[in-house]
Structure 1
């Protein structure tokens, strides 16, 4: 596998041959360090019978590492030129390339069904992509993604942390997440002006049988005005501060608390009590947070 991985010279030569230049619009930073590829594949703890889902394979650096570790790889690439070129770089028979937007793919597209998400995600859509795929693909047992370090910190933060927010809570609904290391800018072309971080996650059962959209609506409302107490922040969602306070007290949550102090289970308890009392505003349909998409 080591000899097949792409280094800096191979990446630039391949890009030149294809007439491809990385674009900011698509958040393209091509990984070109074989040691980092090996590190990602090892940290993902893949099984030989896994089906890996890669988003944004680009020129195929990580794809080459993945095809040697699992029984099948699905690569979702939004750039038509890169999607068309990938089978020429990664010639494995157990690779399926999907020219598509990862934010719009549906589960019925993949056969065999993916079991692990392993990807160097475009920074500008990293959080929505992870949340969408976890919602759309119940067969995913976990994954390892590389994102901007600041986003990695948010995704893995716990209650009480300064960076705990919407991404932290929504990922916690689906999975247990943990930081899996830092990646320096020098392993990419072009070199980004930020560090990257690895986030590993393992799916678990949701903390409640309350519909996800109902819980995420509470989360969105709580963090839309994160400096306010929950009594004030949830007033619009509940139909007034008094109704919000009634729901919070019945759910066992202090009306003077703030969103950053609550676990995903407590948000679910609030949603459940609102449902019981007949309160609660417009539900969040997608699970992607509008206020803190990548922050």
Structure 2
């Protein structure tokens, strides 16, 4: 079977089950990385040596990882679904280039206040408040409706995500089962959202997610305020939560993660204050014994 035929069947099958933006990512990897190298090849003829040489040829470690994982998905799907009796070249211990540790830029408490002040009265203010005070994914924050927020209790019900897929705005369910969740706003955020709402209904902001992100950035730059992306607002919330003494299991629950290791490995930035506060707490325990 030709490799490109396997890719077509793989995408057709996965489109039934995966989110549109996930499919778009697989299609991009196939189009940009897989087909230029493996088009015209019989899938059964690809060797692990060729595969390693291909991976070694990438300049960017992230691109190599994305391309290899998509290739592996296609191969293993073909063996399972199409019953291809073949050697799996991805099982040969392919070595991926090492990536530098990811350390996103996050705001400290003063930076968050500056960020929110810069957006005071802005058309995207309500989205920005929910994004940075709840640690929401960008699509989740942009998908919130006023009806999802109980301004008496501060409860915010995350029920959808707005995504830009192939230039079109689509609404999709939350990323995982645990992503469909309730979060609770801090009191200052509830008070400000009450003032903003003024009887409004529907989306907190009608702009598409890409435009929301650009306009928030522009507002911060104009005000001379600190700025981080909406994704880094999520990292900011997790890091500030740890600094405030919130347990990792609560952080994972609030962020809609399926397990606590995701929050620990990818979202919490080990700032000196966190480590110093931990040592102070231990010191108090030791010296008081």
**TM bucket normalised to smaller:** under 0.3
Give the TM-score of the pair, scaled to structure 1.
0.25
| Higher RCO (CA 8 Å, separation ≥ 6 residues) | 2
Structure with max Cα Rg: 2
